Amino acid sequence: MKRDSQTGAVPVMVPVPAEAPYTYAVPAGMTVEPGSIVRVPLGPRLVAGIVWDGDGGAVDAKKLRPIDHVFDCPPVPEPMRRFIDWVATYTLSAPGMVARMILRAPEAFDPEPWIEGLKRTDAEPGRLTEARARVLELAGDGLAWTRSGLAHAAGVSSSVIDGLKAQGVLAAEMIPPRPVVAPPDPTYGGGRLSPEQADGAAELCRTVAEDRFSVTLIDGVTGSGKTEVYFEAVAAALAQGRQVLILLPEIALTQAFLERFQDRFGAKPAEWHSDLPPRMRERVWRQVAEGQTRVVAGARSALYLPFPKLGLIVVDEEHDPAFKQEDRVFYSARDMAVVRAHIGGFPAILASATPSVESRVNADQGRYRRIALPSRFADAALPDIRAVDLRRAPPARGGFLSPVLVEQVRRTVERGEQALLFLNRRGYAPLTLCRVCGHRFQCPSCSAWLVEHRFRGQLLCHHCGHHEPRPEACPECGTFDHLAACGPGIERIAEEVVGHFPEARTIVLSSDMLGGVKRLRLELDAIAKGEADIVIGTQLVAKGHNFPNMTLVGVVDADLGLANGDPRAAERTFQLLSQVTGRAGRTGKKSLGLLQTFQPDHPVMRALVSGDAAAFYEREIAERERSGLPPFGRLAGIVVSAETRAEADGHARGLRRAAPPAHDISVLGPAEAPLALIAGRHRFRLLVHGERRSDMQGFLRTLLANGPKPRGSIRVQVDIDPQSFL
DNA sequence: AGCACGCCGACT
DNA sequence: GTCGGCGTGCTC
């Protein structure tokens, strides 16, 4: 429905934390409709907003200000507006703050300018040089070329082009902006699927053909070719003329994925992530909004692109914690992808070698369909996994590598193959203390231990980023040279490895590596080409890279992360270590995974060693049911952040006064925080459990209106899968 | 979220 | 005497 000056006023969602859209006057002669992107005055500034649905509501006529401008831009589609409303309600955040996420490419609201192209005319050049001849041969196709494109293709400098233009041999003609990516061709590649893969692909294609909401979990071991299987569903959706969104965790590093996509579809997908240059960002946004870009591979924020004809969402590595956004609006992109599919009435696909417990449960209970791919593709064999009991085979004094592991590294390197040593801890040592007075180096702002980074000569807080130079003397007692590094980080493991294997080519990889993402990509390429013998890395090596010659993976401290009080600790560790050991043996060579552990009988270690994931999941599910945690129909509650224990206790008192008796309020320190989702800067949290979502929302509203005002923020912990609320 | 206004400390 | 810290409050 179009609205103009007859209607007078429309609701506009503006990017402020207001509960509802604001109302603006539509000036005479202006036409807007729900979804129109407009520029409106807001206080002293002009902001972009989205015309919302319904009427303007009862706002003082004298408060109304007129819409300043309507952008020449496709309106935000209806399903997208419903999605924003839904996410806002679900996360209890202001709808304007959710809407803000789709307005993050401000330059894209105006059409992309046409560019000047050059076209061959009938005129002949005065003198036909060799360079000119090459240009004219290309331009003879009758199509308009860009100046630089033509010069590049003909292998001449652009002055040759300018000369021809001056003589009227080439004439300027405006051409539409180039697409950011070539259109994908659903029939380009493919066809090299195993029977198991082909069955899975056929099933997925059927869900796409149904053209209605469904969720399918692809549960396939690492190396089973899940990607190629869901590519067939992508092809099916493309053939229907729909757009496709593929969500990936940390896409900036997944170059390999883009190449696999290109092998199947003959062109790369458009990328969407925070490292995208602003210009590119705008072009992608615009071309998605116009329906021109057919496939986007993106990080979680790609959910907020204004797709007009979205027909499929794939969430790859669906278990990955990177899908959880924890600033401003708190949400899990995996869950919101399911919601988006539900609102749009199309299928969603979740893929993982190690699905999250909640997705497993959803599949078990029939809310999700399930496709299992239990075997590796082609000649790749799963590595043989063994636990190394550190009580029986302890490392040498001062070291962290068991003789068993050192020996396997030696054999691997001697065979000319690669070994990966995995430790999920950056830096040299996680704790530094003074051997004379016992002083421990602590972060002044968040009281976590400071991690020594020997290479940089600094002590770093991994929590807040605080850093200070590593002192020579103890700041407490002043003693020189008696500071002791406690425990291992990858820098220290690297030191130990160099001690054992001085001749081997060793690479250390972690997210804080100097040179950033670019350098990391180069190093990963170098490893894949065999330019290293031993790789020592943190969890970033677990993600999606293929190292064809990697036949040994040693996990230095497999127990790390099991005892941090997080009820997902076992699940997370299982997922991470499965991914890490899955790096080995991808080309069919016999390969080995060694888990150094003090708890070889721990369910995680047993599951990894036996390969019996099903038993592990069953146990985890039973464990969760016992403790009443999601995903079992119980809302996790409200989180109030506080800096100190006293402050947290004060808030708890206030909450108990305000809360109905059915709510169970507890104050939690970081160690007992019941869900990993709430790892944040604040040290204490109040958790309020309630049985019903509506109760919790009502309670929160009351609390916000007249409860205690915490200095920090009030957040809602919503970690339960949204399907039960759809 | 921005951006104003507003009221108390160290400086051209 | 002013520049500037961030606390409170408002934006259709």
- List protein-proximal bases of chain C (any atom < 7 A from a CB): 10-12
pLDDT at position A189, please? 87
Considering the domain architecture, whether residues A204 and A280 belong to the same structural domain is answered as yes
Which residues, in sequence order, are CB contacts of A507 under 8 Å at separation 6+? Answer: A523, A526, A527, A532, A534, A535, A536
Strand C reaches within 7 A of the A17 CB: yes
For position A637, what pLDDT does the model report? 46
Distances (CA, A) of A322 to A251, A327, A681: 10, 12, 17
Q: Which positions in strand B are less than 7 Å from the protein's CB atoms?
A: 1-4
Residue A465 lies in a domain: no
**Is A446 known to sit in a ligand binding site?**
yes
Based on the domain organization, do A263 and A347 belong to the same domain? yes
A79, containing H or E segment: helix A78-91
Query: What pLDDT band is residue A251 in, cutting at 50, 70 and 90?
Result: low
Residue A31 lies in a domain: yes
Instruction: Evaluate the omega torsion of the peptide bond into residue A631 and state whether it is cis, within 30 degrees of 0.
Output: yes
The pLDDT confidence band at residue A342, using thresholds 50, 70 and 90, is: very high
Nucleotide showing the shortest C1' distance to residue A18 CA: C11
Rounded distance in angstroms from the CA atom of residue A702 to the C1' atom of nucleotide B9: 39
CA–C1' span, A56 to C7, in Å?
33
In this structure, what DSSP letter does residue A681 have? Answer: S
How many Cβ atoms sit within 10 Å of the Cβ of residue A186? 20
Q: Are residues A133 and A155 in the same domain?
A: yes
Same domain, A400 and A544: yes
A205 is in an annotated binding site: no
3-state secondary structure A181-219: CCCCCCCCCCCCCCHHHHHHHHHHHHHHHHCCCEEEEEE
Same domain for A372 and A255?
yes
DSSP letters spanning A312-339: EEEEETTT-GGGEE-SSS-EEHHHHHHH
In the block, residue with structure tokens 């839904």: A86
- Residue A44 belongs to a domain with what CATH number? 3.40.1440.60
- A454 CA vs C5 C1’ separation (Å): 37
Closest to A466 (Cα-Cα) out of A481, A451, A478: A451
Using one digit for the tens of pLDDT, what is the confidence trace for A664-712? 444 444 333 333 233 333 334 445 544 445 555 555 555 555 444 444 4
Last residue of a domain, one of A621, A651, A670: A621
Asked if A278 and A152 sit in the same domain, the reply is no
A212 and A336 housed in the same domain: yes
Strand C contact at CB of residue A22, distance < 7 A = yes
The total number of residues shown for chain A amounts to 726
Do A403 and A594 meet the contact criterion of CB atoms below 8 Å apart?
A: no
Residue A653 pLDDT > 70: no
| Number of alpha helices (DSSP H) and beta strands (DSSP E) in chain A | 19, 33
Indicate whether A169 belongs to any domain: yes
From CA A53, how far away is CA A484, in angstroms rounded? Answer: 64
Residues near A39 by beta carbon (within 8 Å), at least 6 away in sequence: A46, A47, A48, A49, A67, A68, A69, A71
Q: Which nucleotide is nearest to A42 (CA to C1')?
A: C11
> Which CATH number goes with the domain that contains A279?
3.40.50.300
- E strand or H helix that includes residue A96: helix A95-99
Read off the pLDDT of residues A67-82 as tens digits, 9 standing for 90 and up: 999 999 999 999 999 9
In a domain, A256, yes or no: yes
| Residue A303 placed within a domain | yes
CA of A44 to C1' of C1 (A): 30
> According to the annotation, is A461 in a ligand binding site?
yes
Whether pLDDT at A477 is above 80: yes
Give yes or no: residues A87 and A33 share one domain: yes
Nucleotide B3: closest residue by CA–C1': A44
Q: Distance between CA A432 and CA A449 in Å, rounded?
A: 8
Domain boundary among A360, A378, A396: A378
Strand C lies under 7 A from the Cβ of residue A44: no
Q: Are residues A414 and A561 in the same domain?
A: yes
Two structure tokens written together for A329: 């609006």
CA–C1' A464–B10 (A)? 30
Q: Is the pLDDT of residue A721 over 60?
A: no
**Residue A33 CA to nucleotide C8 C1', Å?**
37
Q: Does A443 show up as a binding residue in the annotation?
A: yes
For residue A166, what are its two tokens? 């001056």
How much of chain A, in percent, has pLDDT values that exceed 70? 82
Tokens 């497993």 sit on residue: A360
Nucleotide nearest to A711 (CA to C1'): C7
Q: Per-residue pLDDT tens for A40-77?
A: 999 888 999 999 998 877 777 778 999 999 999 999 99
Tokens of A571: 């699940």
Counting the structural domains of chain A, the total is: 5
Is A73 marked within a binding site? no
Q: Is residue A250 part of a domain?
A: yes
- Of A402-406, A569-573, A601-605, which gets the smallest average pLDDT? A569-573
Q: Is strand C within 7 Å of residue A43 (CB)?
A: yes
Q: Write the CATH number for A680.
A: 3.30.70.600
Q: Is A673 or A117 the better-scoring residue by pLDDT?
A: A117
For the stretch A609-636, pLDDT in tens is 999 999 999 998 888 777 655 443 334 4
Contact A349, A220 (CB under 8 A): no
Output the furthest CA–CA distance in chain A (Å, rounded).
93
Residue-wise pLDDT tens digits, A527-539 = 888 899 999 999 8
Model confidence, pTM: 0.86
Decide if A270 contacts A288 (C-beta within 8 A).
yes
Is A85 part of a structural domain of the chain?
yes
Domain end marker among A321, A348, A378: A378
Average pLDDT for chain A: 83
Q: Is A486 annotated as a binding residue?
A: no
CA A77 – CA A321 distance, rounded (Å):
29
Measure A287 CA to B4 C1' (Å). Answer: 38
Question: For residue A215, what are the β-bridge partners?
Answer: A348
Q: Is the CB of A65 under 7 A from strand C?
A: yes
Query: What tens digit of pLDDT does each residue of A460-472 get?
Result: 877 666 778 888 8
Residue among A394, A303, A326, A159 nearest A677 (CA): A326
Pair A228, A322 in one domain: yes
Residue A123 sits in the same domain as residue A207 = no
What average pLDDT does range A657-667 have in this prediction? 49
Cβ of A628 less than 7 A from strand C: no
Q: In which domain, by residue range, is A301 found?
A: 195-378
Q: Clarify whether residues A40 and A120 are in a common domain.
A: no
Q: What nucleotide is nearest A94 when CA is compared to C1'? A: B1
3-class SS at A679?
Answer: coil
Q: Tell me the per-residue pLDDT of A222-242, one tens digit each, with 9 for 90 and over.
A: 878 899 999 999 999 999 999
Residue A99 in domain: yes
